Structures are given as structure tokens and as C-alpha cells.
Copies of this chain bind each other. A is one copy, B any other.
Amino acid sequence: MSQKQKYVYELPIKVRDYEVDVEGIVNNANYLHYLEHTRHEFCEQAGLSFRQMTREGLTPVVRHIDITYLSSLGLGDTMISRIALERDGARFIFIQDIYAADGIRPVVKARVTIVSIENGRLGRGDRIAKAFAAYIKPCDDE
């Protein structure tokens, strides 16, 4: 992660006051909400909303999340939530980094692994890969 990620999507999100806990910072679980919301907005923009996936019998499922908390956000803060996307066989890896409003100070760095359940079974993910073709960075290119 030392080299610059080639982000394919970014979304500004403003902290809602109720997401800030008694210590004055956004509670760690809320970042998973921000990450999910960013993924879903990205998917919608890519032309494959979660509603559509469901209609096609596809269920994207979160298998693994690795998240590092680097700095914190508080009341009234806005963040920039960015996505880079990789495919590793049947697994899609969303590299999701959240920055402070300046776009520079890193707040959270995460890798979210998604698999596609197709009609009840682990799928090969080809339908999803097709929808995201323009955004996926080949793994051998890393």
C-alpha cells in the first residue's frame, strides 16, 4: 500500500452527530457503515445496484474485512471515502481508504473481500466482474 492506489471512485460523507460516541470520535463500527454505503453507491454508479443483483439471483457477501484506524473523525467532520477494486478469482477485493476532508490525512485503510453467492452457491463472479470491468485492476498488475 506504499504506492499510490488507483482509486476508481470517491464519495464525500459527512459525519452525523449520533455516530460520534462518548469519547468525541466516530465509533469504530460506523466506519463499516461508511464503507458499505460507499460500495453500494459505487455499484449503483457502475450500473449494478444491489437491488438489481438481488433480482438476478446474485448476493454479494462480505467474507473478510481488514481495517486499520489511523486517525479519528469527530462532530461536524466530512470525510472522502475512496475505492480501488481488484479481482482474485471468485473474490472481489475492495480497497477502501477514508481520508479527512483535505483528501490527504488518512483516517481508515481497509480491505474488504466480497464473494458472490449465485442462487445459493458460491459463484465465479463473472456477472459482477463484467459489470465492474472498467474499474477492476488486474491482480498481476500490482
Contact = CB atoms under 8 A, between A and B. Distances in A.
A17 B29 contact: no
Query: Do most interface residues of chain A lie in helix, strand or loop, or is the interface mixed?
Result: mixed
A6 interface: no
B28 A22 contact: no
Contacts of A44: 76
A65 B27 CA distance: 13
Interface of A: 16-18, 20-24, 27-30, 32-33, 36-37, 40, 44, 49-51, 54, 59, 61-69, 75-76
A50 B67 contact: no
Nearest to A49: B76
25 contacts: A17-B21, A17-B37, A17-B40, A17-B50, A18-B27, A18-B36, A20-B21, A20-B22, A21-B21, A23-B59, A27-B36, A28-B62, A28-B65, A29-B32, A29-B36, A32-B32, A49-B75, A51-B76, A64-B66, A64-B68, A65-B65, A65-B66, A65-B67, A66-B66, A66-B67
